[in-house]
Amino acid sequence: GESVGLHLPTLSVQEGDNSIINCAYSNSASDYFIWYKQESGKGPQFIIDIRSNMDKRQGQRVTVLLNKTVKHLSLQIAATQPGDSAVYFCAENEGGGNKLTFGTGTQLKVEL
Amino acid sequence: EAGVVQSPRYKIIEKKQPVAFWCNPISGHNTLYWYLQNLGQGPELLIRYENEEAVDDSQLPKDRFSAERLKGVDSTLKIQPAELGDSAVYLCASSSSTGGTEAFFGQGTRLTVV
């Protein structure tokens, strides 16, 4: 069936650098995308979302880019901090409902 | 505002025993999800409710798993009998409306079947 996947399972960055986490999706019917952060022993925490009628959305230190042509989603974290260390998941919502499908996740490690 | 509340946080049971998980969603949220998360993987949907109606249970192993959401608020997920392969984290989430909105997650219940 349709799936959401990530290119890199682990990403290591230096504190203060920018991080980019990528996600590929295959369901062309998806119209809403969310990035979640999950720390050890906790449930996923909402970071930022974007709808398919947009190609960029910015939050505090985070930016999500959506390229519908190649079905690609990315999360950019500016000035990465130790507290950003976690697993990051992209999730897609198929059009017309609340069916949320997750990718496999990327482990972000911030080195001091 | 309280978030999604799940209990218990941890559960250890012997195989073939029954187990139940409870979830209290955010007040006013009509949509409730149960997800299963294996170590190192993303959450996988088990069942989704819109109010008290299960609108997507295609991934729920119905031979041993059951769920209910009486009155469209709290929900329980049951496994009977549990198998070793059921060891995982069971996550509950809720969202406010249809059409695509963020889902808020609880802390999860970590189940260990021995």
Dump pLDDT digits (tens) for A20-73: 999 998 888 888 999 999 999 999 999 999 999 999 999 999 999 999 999 999
Using a 10 angstrom Cβ sphere, with 0-12 exposed, 13-18 middle and 19 or more buried, the burial of residue B48 is buried
Residue A7 pLDDT: 46
CB pair distance less than 8 Å for B42 and A89: yes
Task: State the smallest CA–CA distance between residue B62 and chain A in angstroms.
Answer: 19
Residue A97 pLDDT: 64
Q: Does A57 touch chain B (CB under 8 A)?
A: no
Is the per-residue pLDDT at A17 higher than 80? yes
Which chain A residues are Cβ-neighbours of B107 within 8 angstroms? 41-43
Q: What is the mean pLDDT of residues B45-71?
A: 93
Report which of B11, B8, B19 is spatially closest to residue B80, judged by C-alpha positions: B19
Q: Does A73 touch chain B (CB under 8 A)?
A: no
Mean pLDDT, chain A, whole residue set: 89
At a CB cut-off of 8 Å and minimum separation 6, what does B4 contact? A43, B23, B24, B25, B26, B92, B93, B94, B104, B105, B106
Model confidence over B48-59: pLDDT tens digits? 999 999 999 989
CB pair distance less than 8 Å for B103 and A100: yes
Q: Does B109 touch chain A (CB under 8 A)?
A: no
Is the per-residue pLDDT at B65 higher than 70? yes
Task: State which residue of chain A sits closest to B94, comparing Cα positions.
Answer: A98
At a CB cut-off of 8 Å and minimum separation 6, what does B17 contact? B81, B82
CA A82 to chain centre: 18
Q: Does A89 touch chain B (CB under 8 A)?
A: yes
